[in-house]
Amino acid sequence: MTSNHCADKTNKSTQLDKVSFAMDQFRLDSLDVFAAIVRCGGFRAAALERGVSSSALSQTINALEEALGIRLLNRTTRSVAPTDAGQRLLQRLGPALTDIRLAVDDLNQLKENPSGTLRINAPGPAIDHLLCPAMFTFMDTYADIKVELISDAAVIDIVEQGFDAGVRFGKQLAQDMIAVPLGPSLRYAIVASPDYIAKHGLPLTPNDLAGHNCIRRRFPGGTLVSWKFEKGGDALEVLPEGRLTVSSAHNELQAAVAGCGLAHIFEDYATPDLTNGRLTEVLKDWSPLLPSWYLYYPSKKHSSAAMRELVSFLRSYDWELSRMPA
């Protein structure tokens, strides 16, 4: 390989480096510096505006001109003016930089002012008994914030799926998530209508469920919900048997009220019907307390004003207000 050929390769490599520089993210600031110098009428005034030295701006313009391969500014000891190439660039550059500033301002508005849309992924019971009542109050307080609640029992990647936050039990949360507890501890209740109990008797232990018609529930993924019990240090898990299988807690409750069998359901769903006597709770002393739900989200850093206000609101919310019928 000849020395001339090596020199050509070196020159081409240098040109490619310059093109790479021209496409680099740093160029955006260089173009903004160029526009500021023309607008201010010189390096010194632009340096004062930006809070940097004149020599720093001079180095930026030198690097920009070298990368583009053309002079942008005519400089004398008394004045600075754009060349024809600089003037042409400025004409195209001005509207683009304005659009960029407006875009950044819009982001700052979202960061500083509570507005925009918050998307939250949560299981149905959490939406029914916690989020909906709380969000009604939250949205009444923050008129510029929109809220989208998506009911989903599956454990998902909220970032990948485009959600601002999710709600799950604590044991289901990734370690890199920030979690905020929502409401008191939870409890499943085993309930049936008085007519069903009159016909089929009262189960006294979880083992007695084998002789009963249980209303089963299946998760969207296909798994049947097992019933868990605990008393005096003894823990049992029962996969119920029964003629009816549903996929919704609301349908499970309907079936229990209609006398179709025993239902295993969050206490909050059953409370209104327990209060008015349409349902009776059984095996109450076998029903363990569960951890509360948690709102979780990726990071406090760079979160929007809307998200910050939501977290603050939920931390101070009176959760007893949300213990309302579904």
Q: What is the pLDDT of residue 195?
A: 97
Cα separation, 74 vs 95, in Å, equals 23
pLDDT per residue, tens digit, the chain (326 aa), is 554 544 454 554 544 444 444 444 446 778 888 888 888 888 888 888 788 888 888 888 888 888 888 898 998 877 888 899 888 888 887 787 777 766 765 665 556 678 888 999 999 999 998 999 999 999 999 998 999 999 988 888 888 788 999 999 876 676 778 889 998 888 999 999 999 999 999 999 999 999 899 999 998 788 899 999 999 888 999 999 999 999 999 999 999 999 999 999 999 999 999 999 999 999 999 999 888 899 999 876 667 888 989 999 999 998 876 555 44
Return the closest-CA partner of residue 215 out of 164, 259, 166, 165: 259
Cα separation, 319 vs 305, in Å, equals 23
Positive or negative, the CA dihedral 254, 260, 266, 270 is positive
Cα separation, 190 vs 263, in Å, equals 6
Q: What is the pLDDT of residue 95?
A: 80
* Single pTM value for the model: 0.62
Return the closest-CA partner of residue 43 out of 22, 60, 68, 66: 60
Which SS3 state, helix, strand or coil, does residue 203 take?
Answer: coil
Q: What is the pLDDT of residue 104?
A: 67
Cα separation, 14 vs 20, in Å, equals 10
Cβ-contact 295, 169 below 8 angstroms: no
Residue with the two structure tokens 């030295």: 53
14-38 burial string, b = 16+ CB within 10 Å, else e? Answer: eeeeeeebeeeeeeeebbbbbbbbb
Q: How many CB atoms lie within 10 A of CB 167?
A: 24
214-232 burial string, b = 16+ CB within 10 Å, else e? Answer: bbbbeeeeeeebebbbeee
Q: What is the pLDDT of residue 157?
A: 84
DSSP annotation of 223: P
Q: Which helix (H) or strand (E) holds 7?
A: helix 3-23
Q: Can you read off the two tokens belonging to residue 211?
A: 């002789």
Q: What is the pLDDT of residue 19?
A: 43
